[in-house]
Amino acid sequence: MTQISRFTGEIVPIAQVVTGDGDESAAPEGGGGFADYALVSLHCLRIYLDTSYRMTIDLLKEMPQITGEIGLSKADLPAPSTLCKAF
């Protein structure tokens, strides 16, 4: 298990508790947007990786295990501008 995977495994449950989205899907069907915990987790990963929003999304497209831990697939990842606007 990599450090990024361990970090993600710790941050996702915390984000779910803090946002109250424990049972919500990370990317609901039908264009419902993204669960708050998924956006918070992605933002925490951006800070952890010390990268821009665009670079974070680009890196995560190559890390299916990490996106899977958040509850997203490569196709579900938000655009960098969506992630930026969320914060």
Query: For each of the chain's 87 residues, which pLDDT tens digit applies?
Result: 589 999 999 999 999 999 887 777 777 665 667 888 999 999 999 999 999 999 999 999 999 999 999 989 888 898 898 888 887
Q: How many CA atoms lie within 13 A of 1 on its CB side?
A: 8
Mapped onto helix, strand or coil, the DSSP state of residue 21 is coil
Q: What is the pLDDT of residue 32?
A: 63
pLDDT at residue 30 in the model: 56
Name the one residue in this structure whose structure tokens are 């984000």: 15
Question: How many Å apart are CA 40 and CA 87, to the nearest integer?
Answer: 9
46-50 contact pairs (CB < 8 A, 24+)? 46/83, 48/4, 48/7, 49/4
Contact criterion met (CB below 8 Å) for 81 and 50: no
pLDDT of residue 19: 87
